[in-house]
Amino acid sequence: MIKQLKLLICLALTLSSCNLFSQAKKPTLMVVPSDVWCIERGYYLTFNNQGTPIRIPDYKRAFQENSQVNQVISQINGLMAERGFPLKNMETVIRSLQMDSAEDNMRSSKTSGSNINESSIDALKKVAKADIIIQLTWSLNKVGPKKSVNFNLQGLDAYTNKQIATANGTGAPSFSAELPVLLSEAVIAHMDNFTAGLQDHFDDMFINGREIIVRIQTWEDWNEDLESEFNGEELGYLIEDWLTDNTVKGRFSTTDMTESMALFEQVRIPVLNNSGRAIDARRYLRDLSKYLSNSPYNIPNKLVMKGLGRATLILGGK
């Protein structure tokens, strides 16, 4: 009897611990004014790229000088928070990045006087980022005294670059309403459709797995390449076989494969692993990293990540 009781308690504990980990990794979302919106209103910086002028959006100026963009983003943030999905606020993210950077520059070790260790890659990665970017565009149409707003929201997966949700349209024309009122109406009118699209994307993710991008690269000084044979099979094919065995329903596309690199897109990875833990691209690719570094292949490799949905394995060393 006592044995059975113990067994039951063990089972309950195991089940509850599984439950504890059975939540998928929640993506972060951020509303970003689109390039076209920024450039049309003059919020951009110009660089000379070997004779070609390049214009890039100046988000900081847009947030400081345009009150309407704050109003729209705040309203979208409010509606998303109500649905249990608070968004990252781009203006605050930019501010805290600058603050962090200033603090890092000033910080030094109390014992050795050493500065914070930051590689050039680390510096490059210090930008406002989110897993899903909500790109916002609007324009005001005027026909005589009549005004209307053309509104466009695009939900873009930051890793696969796929559009996963959208809502757009032109509001009813008005003689008297001001722009903030028209914008507010547009947000209210379009957010339900936008969140419905987002819901579809999440539902699909739970059924068919999270879609990620996997890149395989090689160090220059590595003596082997993706065409090298291991146990009579080329390494490129071995990696493809591993992906087939470890993706949801074997789904992935080999977009590029050369002797030195491979690119796999639409790789559908399970949201949770066998032990019920949530996984992302990095955790998923760690298994491939181990598979290749172990016998019989013994290929040392370095795993590099980019958010939830993109990871790169560089073969031939750490």
Partner 1 sequence: MKTTQKTLIILVFLLVGMQSYGQRKQRLADKDTKAWHYDIECVGTGKEGFKLIKVWSYSKKPKYAITQSWKNAVHGIIFKGFSGTGRSCTGFRPLINKSMNQKQYDAFFKNFFLDSGQYSQFVTDAADGSIDPRDVLKVGKKMYKIGVVVNVNVSQLRKLLEEEGIINGLTTGF
Q: Give start and end residues of each alpha helix (H) in 85-178.
A: 90-106, 120-124
CB of 18 to partner 1, least distance (A): 15
Of the two residues 26 and 55, which places its CB atom closer to partner 1 in the complex? Answer: 26
Site for partner 1, residues 247 to 286, rule: CB under 8 A = 271
Binding mask 162-201 for partner 1 (x = CB under 8 A): -----x-xxxxx-----------x--xxx-xx-xx-xx--
Angle between helices 281-293 and 235-246 (to 10 degrees): 130
SS3 assignment, position 56: strand
- Give 278-293 as a DSSP string: B--HHHHHHHHHHHHH
The residues, any chain, with a CB within 8 Å of residue 310's CB and separated by 6 or more, are 159, 212, 213, 215, 281
Cβ neighbours, 10 Å, residue 137: 17
Q: Would you count residue 100 as binding partner 1 (CB under 8 A)?
A: no
Cβ neighbours, 10 Å, residue 199: 12
CB of 140 to partner 1, least distance (A): 14
CB of 22 to partner 1, least distance (A): 9
Count of residues touching partner 1 (by CB under 8 A): 30
Both structure tokens of 188: 């209210």
CB of 268 to partner 1, least distance (A): 16
Residue 88 in contact with residue 32, Cβ under 8 Å? no
The residues, any chain, with a CB within 8 Å of residue 147's CB and separated by 6 or more, are 140, 141, 173, 174, 175, 177, 179, 182
Of the two residues 103 and 203, which places its CB atom closer to partner 1 in the complex? Answer: 203
Backbone angles phi, psi at 308, to 5 degrees: -75, -25
Binding mask 54-93 for partner 1 (x = CB under 8 A): -------------------------x--xxxx--------
Binding mask 209-248 for partner 1 (x = CB under 8 A): ----------------------------------------
Site for partner 1, residues 116 to 155, rule: CB under 8 A = 148
Site of interaction with partner 1 (CB under 8 A): 23-26, 79, 82-85, 148, 167, 169-173, 185, 188-190, 192-193, 195-196, 198-199, 202-203, 206, 271
